A = this chain, B = another copy of it.
Amino acid sequence: MKKGLLILLSGPSGVGKGTVRKQIFKNTDLNLAYSISMTTRKPREGEVDGQDYFFVSEERFEEAIKNEELLEYARFVGNYYGTPKAYVEKLREEGKNVFLEIEVEGAKKVLEEYKEDKGVLSIFLLPPSLRELEKRIRGRRSEPEEIIQERLGKAKREMGLKKNYQFNVLNDNINRSSQEIARIIDLKIKANKVED
């Protein structure tokens, strides 16, 4: 069996990566699999280890960092979150197309790690305009102007990395952009069969 793809979807905060991802996963023909993250956060009610997350101790996580077991990781509100490479590769070996919806910073590391891998598909989601992105960032919740300016600055810096991706897809309309990405994935799956 041909090894599955590693699909990276990234883009600035607020562009709508999560919504697009959910839409794309409805397309069962694409044989997609989520990558499960490792975290030091405590499981919430109903969350299952190895299904929602790999729940580990701080000590185990830092060991994973040291041993370079993680494709990327970040610390967020006092907890670690990371993507275990072994799990991603296991899914790919099973023929699954692993879908990573990931922040620009983390994606940068993954792209670097996989730069020689022909089974990687990288997609950067573009906002219809910077003005529209600002509207979305402001609309999320009411926060001090200082925080909003910080987020906007970050989003603009993130936009500068779009050229590192194989495809830039405009998220002007959720159905259209999701369909376009599904189309790219479909072509890549078929192309992957004939590529060596």
Interface residues of A (CB under 8 A from B): 126, 129, 163, 166-170, 172-173, 176, 180, 183-184, 186-188, 190-191, 193-195
Contact = CB atoms under 8 A, between A and B. Distances in A.
B188 A166 contact: no
A176 B163 CA distance: 7
A190 B180 contact: no
A188 B180 CA distance: 13
A183 B120 CA distance: 13
Given A163-B176, A186-B191, A191-B191, 12 more contacts: A126-B170, A163-B173, A166-B183, A167-B180, A167-B184, A168-B169, A168-B170, A168-B176, A170-B170, A187-B187, A187-B190, A187-B191
